[in-house]
Structure 1
Amino acid sequence: MSIQAAQAFRQQTSASPALQAEVARHVSNGSIDYAALAELGRKHGHDFTAEDAVTVLSAPSDELSDFEMELVSGGTCMPPQRKFDGSGIGRG
Structure 2
Amino acid sequence: MSIQAAQAFRQQTNASPALQAEVLGHVSNGTIDYAALAELGRKHGHVFSAEDAVAVLSAPSDELSDFEMELVSGGAIIPPQYAKRDRPMGG
Bucket of the pairwise TM-score, normalised by the shorter protein: 0.7 to 0.9
CA RMSD of aligned residues (A): 1.8
Shift of 1:63: 1.6
Shift of 1:82: 3.1
Count of matched residue positions in the alignment of Structure 1 and Structure 2: 85
Report the residue type matching 1:12 in the other structure.
Q
For residue 39 of structure 2, what is the aligned residue in structure 1? 39
Any unmatched runs of 5+ in structure 2? none
Report the residue type matching 1:10 in the other structure.
R
Any unmatched runs of 5+ in structure 1? 84-89
Report the residue type matching 1:50 in the other structure.
A
Distance 1:29 1:91 in 2: 10
Larger Rg: 1 or 2? 1
The percentage of counterpart residues that share the same residue type is: 81
Instruction: Select the structure that is richer in strand.
Output: 1
Give the TM-score normalised by structure 1.
0.81
**Could you tell me whether the CA contact under 8 Å between 2:33 and 2:86 is conserved in 1?**
no
Cα 1:29–1:12 change in 2 (3 A) is same
Give the TM-score normalised by structure 2.
0.82
**What does the per-residue CA deviation read over 1:37-74, in whole Å, with 9 as the maximum and x for residues that have no partner?**
0000000000000011011111113421011112223x
